[in-house]
Structure 1
Amino acid sequence: MRIILLGPPGAGKGTQAVRLVERLGVPQLSTGDMLRAAIAAGTPVGLKAKAIMDRGDLVSDDVVLGIIAERIEEPDTRKGFILDGFPRTVAQAEGFDRMLEQKGLKLDAVIEFKVDQDALVERIVKRAKETEARGEPVRKDDNPEVFKTRLEAYRTQTAPLSTYYEGRGCLRAVDGMRPIDEVTEALKKIVG
C-alpha cells in the first residue's frame, strides 16, 4: 500500500505511522531521513542536495522528488510505503503524482487526520508538561508559540492538499481527536 498521511502537527500522524508500519510491513519514508541518506551515499541527487544545503538554501521540490524517486526504487518499498510530512504543497503533490505515474504506480490512500486545531495547542502543552515531568527533554516544537507558527504554516501551505486529493478521489478522513486506539481502528478500516 502506498499511503500519504495528512494533518497538522500534533494530529497523531507519527504515532499512527509506526502502527501502520507494523501492520502493513512497509516503511515510513521521511524526506529528512531520505535527504541525509542520499547525501551520505553520495548519489547524484544527494550530491546536488548537499551543494544546495551547503549554500544555506532550501532544497527544491525537484531535488526532493528526485530523492523520493530514488528511495521508492529500494527493495523494501515494493509492497508500498507511508509518507508523513510530504507532500507539503499542491505543487509537490502534482510533481509526486507525475513521478508515480511515470513509474506505473499510484497512491492507495491519502488519509487526513481531522482535528480541532485549538485543542491541538492544548494537547501539545499537555505533552510538553508530561515530558518535563518525566525528566525528559521537551521538543523545541512543543513550545506553544512555535507550535502556533507551525500550525499557521500548515493552514496556508499544506491544508489545500485536502481539496487536491479529494478532487483525485483518494482522500479518506479519520477523527484525529479520538483516543489513539480508536484512530488505529479507523485506519484499519481504510487500509484493510
Structure 2
Amino acid sequence: MSSEPTGPAKPAKGPASGKPKAVVHDLEIKDAQIIFHSVWNELEQDLGDDMLRFPKEIILLGGAPGSGKGTHTRFIQKTRGLTCPSIVVSSLLTSPEARKVIDAGYMVGDREVVGILFRKLLDPDYRDGAILDGFPRTEVQVECLKLLVDKMKELRARFFETPLRVHFRQPTIHIMVLFVDEKTSVERQIKRGHQAEAHNQEVRTTGVGECVELRPTDLDPKAARRRYQVFKEQTWEALQSLKQTFFYHFVNAQGSVAEVERNILNELRYQSLLELDPQTYDSLRNLPLASEIILHARQDLVKRLDAYELNQTKLFHQVIGLIQEKIMPVVVRHAISGLATVNIEDPLLHDSEALAMLIDIFSERGYHAVVDLHRIEIPEQVDLASGDISCRQKKVFRITIRFQGSEIRRG
C-alpha cells in the first residue's frame, strides 16, 4: 500500500518558540500641572516649605546618545566650580519596572522621574549648584521644570525678609545641549558597547577590576538608532522649547574632546548680568569692568607721560632722577628673580602727583610697580609727669617692582 508524499509540515499558529515580546504600554497621565503639584504637595508635607532649598544654579545637560555627556561632565563641573557629582537621571531610576522600560530603548514615566529628581535636588550637597544629566526629556518634564523655577522664585519672595533668605537665592538655569548627528551617535554607542564588553570579559578572566554597565542598546545598531530617534523626537524638541525661557547653550560635540571642551568653555564664560541677583547686579554695575579700563590703557599712559613732560617738567624730571639714583640700582641687582622691593623716605613722594608719575614711568618701561605707604610713629619726647609720649610720624614708601626675570640654565 503506497502513500502519497507529504510536504513540509505547516507551522503552528502563534510563536513557535521563544518568549513573547514584552509590550511597553504608556498609560501615564500627561498633564504637567497634575504631576508637578502632586510631587510638590508631597515635598511640602514631608519636609515643610522652609526646607525646600533647591540649588542656586542648575545646569541641564542634554544630548544625543554618544554625544559625550559623561565624558564632558567633569570639565563642566570644573568650569563652573561645582564639586558634587552630577545627577544622572537614569541612575536614579532603579526599580525593575523602570529598568525594563529603559532596556527596551524607551523612557520612564514623567511622574516617577520628576518625583525622584526633585528630592535628589534637595540634598544639601547640591545647594550651590547641580548638573542634571538627562533631564528634561519630554514636554511634560519641561513644563514641570518651569513650574519648579516659578516655585523657587515664590519661595525666595516669601522668605526674602527673613533670616532664611540666604537659603532661597535667585535661581540660575542653564540648558546645555551636546549635539552629534545620527551616524556619529550610533557609531559611538556601538564602540562604547564593544569597549565595555571587552573590559568586562577581561575582568571576568583576570578577576581584577570591576565590570561596567553594558546596556542592551550598546550592542544593537537598531536599538542604538532607536535611542537616537527618541532623542530627536522627544528630548530635542523638549530642550529646544526652553530657548526662550532659560540660558541656552548649543555645543557641537562632533569633534575631539579638546575641541568640544573649547566649545563648552566659550558657552559658559561668566556673565554677571545673567548670574547675579538683579539687586546685586544693580549695585555693582557702575563699577567699570577690568576689560573696559585696559581697553585704551596704553594710549592713556602715553597722553599722561607727554602731559607730565609739557606741563610739570620740573617735577617729572625730579621723579626720573629719583628712580635712576635710588630705585634702579636695586632693581638691576634683582634682574634674575624679576622682583625688587625698595623702601624710600624721600619727601618728593609726599606729592601724590609724583607717586602717579613714578608708577606711570615704570609702566612705560615694562615694569609693574606697586607703592605701599607705611606710617611709622617715632617717639621723640616723654612727659615725666603725665607719662605721655610725643611722637613724630615717619612716612616710608615701599615700592615693589615686578618684571620678567632672567632664565638661568643649569647643568
Q: Distance in 2 between matches of 1:77 and 1:155?
A: 30
Equivalent residue, structure 1, for 2:216: 140
Q: Match for 1:71 among 120, 128, 145?
A: 120
Q: Residue type matched to 2:181 in 1?
A: D
2:75 is paired with a residue of what secondary structure?
A: helix
Decide whether aligned partners of structure 1 residues 107 and 34 sit closer, same or farther in structure 2, where only a CA change above 3 A counts. farther
Larger Rg: 2
Equivalent residue, structure 2, for 1:95: 144
Q: CA deviation at 1:9?
A: 0.6
* Deviation string, structure 1 residues 40-95 (Cα, Å, up to 9, x no partner): xxxxxxxxxx7x959x9986423422222222121111111011111111210111
Q: Match for 1:29 among 75, 87, 99?
A: 87
When structure 1 is superposed on structure 2, of 134-143 and 112-121 the one drifting more is 134-143
Q: Distance in 2 between matches of 1:112 and 1:159?
A: 9
TM-score of the pair, normalised by structure 1: 0.76
Matches within 5 A, 1:7-156: 7-23=63-79, 24-36=82-94, 53=97, 60-104=109-153, 106-132=171-197, 135=201, 139-143=215-219, 144-156=221-233
Q: Residue type matched to 2:268 in 1?
A: V
Q: CA deviation at 1:140?
A: 2.3
CA contact (8 A) 1:90 1:161 kept: yes
* Deviation string, structure 1 residues 108-139 (Cα, Å, up to 9, x no partner): 31111121211222233333444455545754
Equivalent residue, structure 2, for 1:191: 268
Q: Residue type matched to 1:172 in 2?
A: H
Give % identity: 28
Q: Match for 1:5 among 26, 50, 61?
A: 61
Q: Distance in 1 between matches of 2:93 and 2:196?
A: 29
When structure 1 is superposed on structure 2, of 147-156 and 133-142 the one drifting more is 133-142
Q: CA deviation at 1:28?
A: 0.9
Q: Distance in 1 between matches of 2:141 and 2:172?
A: 14
Q: Distance in 1 between matches of 2:91 and 2:191?
A: 28
Q: Distance in 1 between matches of 2:108 and 2:197?
A: 34
CA contact (8 A) 1:19 1:184 kept: yes
The structure where helix makes up a greater share of residues is 1
Q: Residue type matched to 1:103 in 2?
A: M
Equivalent residue, structure 2, for 1:47: none
1:151 is paired with a residue of what secondary structure?
A: helix
2:190 is paired with a residue of what secondary structure?
A: helix
User: Which consecutive unaligned segments of at least 5 residues does structure 1 have?
Assistant: 37-49
CA contact (8 A) 1:26 1:79 kept: no
Q: Residue type matched to 1:109 in 2?
A: H
* Deviation string, structure 1 residues 129-174 (Cα, Å, up to 9, x no partner): 4445554575422121210111111122111023201232522111
When structure 1 is superposed on structure 2, of 4-13 and 98-107 the one drifting more is 98-107
1:6 is paired with a residue of what secondary structure?
A: strand
CA contact (8 A) 1:114 1:176 kept: yes
* Higher relative contact order (CA closer than 8 Å, sequence separation 6+): 1
Q: Distance in 2 between matches of 1:101 and 1:8?
A: 28
Matches within 5 A, 1:168-183: 168-183=245-260
Q: CA RMSD in A?
A: 2.9
TM-score of the pair, normalised by structure 2: 0.38
Q: Distance in 2 between matches of 1:127 and 1:32?
A: 17
Decide whether aligned partners of structure 1 residues 95 and 141 sit closer, same or farther in structure 2, where only a CA change above 3 A counts. same
2:145 is paired with a residue of what secondary structure?
A: helix
